[in-house]
């Protein structure tokens, strides 16, 4: 998985009509092949009378990908949908474009354009999200330093996930990984080395 990656915020859906054929694009965030297969199957169940449910997906590693024309002429459905995902620089995404045939043939180039457009409008409806490597940190702060530490947090755009007030204050914090060393140095300087952050978890998060 890349250090930073771009995916979609939520499930997005949109549709349009091209020469009497109805195209419905749906984009959903996925992490595994099983997730993608579940999305595809749910669309098939939702549109049992549709002629085609073309799909493509790219998982979070950026390398696991698959596409299907689902009965359309080879290369006119799945490949254009996959191409839209990849050109958008997205991973962790499954897109299904459903077609209700309207009786008018679109030709190979027309089909490719229509399926690509269905993918684009679905992704636009889903929205983009930039994911960055982040650290979850635990720190224990004596009360006399609590105000100073609280003043420090916004300077590193840190989110407080949890706080516990006992004999001392225990904070669980979320910070971008590239800012963590600077924050640790600032804490040490502020506390004369008595407050040291403990790494609890590494995760990807949507954080500026």
What percent of the chain lies above the pLDDT cut of 70?
A: 99
Q: Which of the four pLDDT bands, split at 50, 70 and 90, describes residue 4?
A: confident
CA dist 32 to 55, 95, 138, 194, Å? 15, 14, 30, 43
pLDDT reading at 105 higher than 90 = no
User: Which of 91, 88, 99, 105 lies closest to 26, judged by CA?
Assistant: 99
Mean per-residue pLDDT of the chain: 93
For residue 2, pLDDT over 70 is answered with no
Q: Which of 17-31, 95-109, 159-173 has the lowest mean pLDDT?
A: 95-109
Confidence of residue 104 (pLDDT cuts 50, 70, 90): confident
Give the pLDDT band (50/70/90) at residue 106. Answer: confident
CA distance 130 to 50: 34
pLDDT band at 62 (very low <50, low <70, confident <90, very high): confident
In this model, does residue 95 exceed pLDDT 50?
yes
Give CA–CA dist 20/187, Å, rounded: 64
Q: What is the pLDDT of residue 161?
A: 95
Instruction: Judge whether residue 1 has pLDDT over 50.
Output: no
Which pLDDT score is estimated for 141? 95
| C-alpha closest to that of 98 among 153, 58, 39, 138 | 39
Q: What are the C-alpha distances in Å from 166 to residues 126, 141, 146, 179, 189?
A: 43, 10, 12, 28, 24
């Amino acid at each position: 998985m890349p250090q930073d990656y771009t995916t979609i915020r939520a499930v997005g859906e949109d549709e349009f009509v091209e020469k009497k054929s109805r195209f419905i694009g749906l984009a959903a965030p996925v992490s595994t092949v099983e997730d993608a297969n579940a999305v595809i199957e749910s669309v098939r169940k939702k549109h049992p009378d549709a002629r085609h449910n073309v799909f493509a997906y790219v998982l979070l590693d950026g390398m696991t990908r698959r596409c299907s024309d689902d009965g359309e002429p080879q290369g006119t459905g799945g490949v254009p949908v996959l191409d839209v995902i990849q050109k958008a620089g997205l991973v962790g995404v499954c897109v299904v474009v459903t077609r209700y045939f309207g009786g008018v043939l679109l030709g190979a180039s027309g089909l490719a354009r229509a399926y690509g457009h269905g993918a684009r409008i679905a992704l636009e409806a889903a929205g983009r999200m930039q994911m960055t490597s982040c650290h979850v940190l635990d720190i224990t702060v004596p009360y006399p330093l609590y105000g100073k530490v609280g003043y420090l947090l916004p300077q590193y755009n840190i989110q407080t996930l949890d706080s516990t007030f006992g004999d001392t204050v225990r904070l669980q914090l979320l910070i971008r990984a590239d800012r963590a060393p600077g924050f640790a140095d600032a804490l040490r300087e502020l506390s004369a080395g008595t407050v040291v952050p403990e790494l609890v978890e590494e995760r990807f998060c949507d954080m500026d």
